[in-house]
Amino acid sequence: MRVHDLSPAPRSSKPRRRVGRGIGGKGGKTAGRGTKGQRARNTVAAGFEGGQMPLKQRVPKLKGFNNPFRVEYHAVNLDTLTELDTSKVTPEVLVARGVVRKSDFVKVLARGELSAKVEVHAHAVSKAAEQAIVAAGGSVTIIPLPFRSGRRPVQGNQFANR
């Protein structure tokens, strides 16, 4: 069997109806458009709703909300700290070892076990990770976040005295 031998199954495809070719058969005269009116004259744009605000304009373009004050952390787990095999862990040490990028804020999470005493300096630490570090005899120091892209911090209710 060759490609030129292939054909559709019998009665599986029909040629499209050519309407508007005179009154001598089906689809003549008004060609299935009814009589008169805007749609009979082929002047309606796709999506036109008779002057009503169209659906494509009623529906919002974007969904959700992007918080400009969101701080994204790079997660570092306890098992990663164990693999580093150092007594003091800082973002600089993590960058030097290739765990995080220079611009990342570091958050320590509690996956894994910590057996050695470790002094951790990070931008954020989960409660479970802090408990595990302290239980192993280590200490946790939180590094304050710098304000990125020149934004001032939100403090209290700014609009109270207006």
Q: Which CATH class is domain 73-146?
A: alpha beta
Q: State both tokens at 95.
A: 């960058």
SS3 percent helix, strand, coil of the chain, rounded to 5, is: 20, 15, 65
pTM over 0.75: no
Question: Under a CB-based contact definition with an 8 Å cutoff, are residues 145 and 123 in contact?
Answer: yes
129: burial class by Cβ within 10 Å (0-12, 13-18, 19+)?
buried
DSSP summary character for residue 9: P
Low-confidence ranges of the chain (pLDDT < 70): 147-162
CA distance 27 to 17: 8
pLDDT of residue 150: 47
- Compute the Cα dihedral for 42, 45, 49, 52 and give only its sign: negative
The domain locations on the chain are 73-146
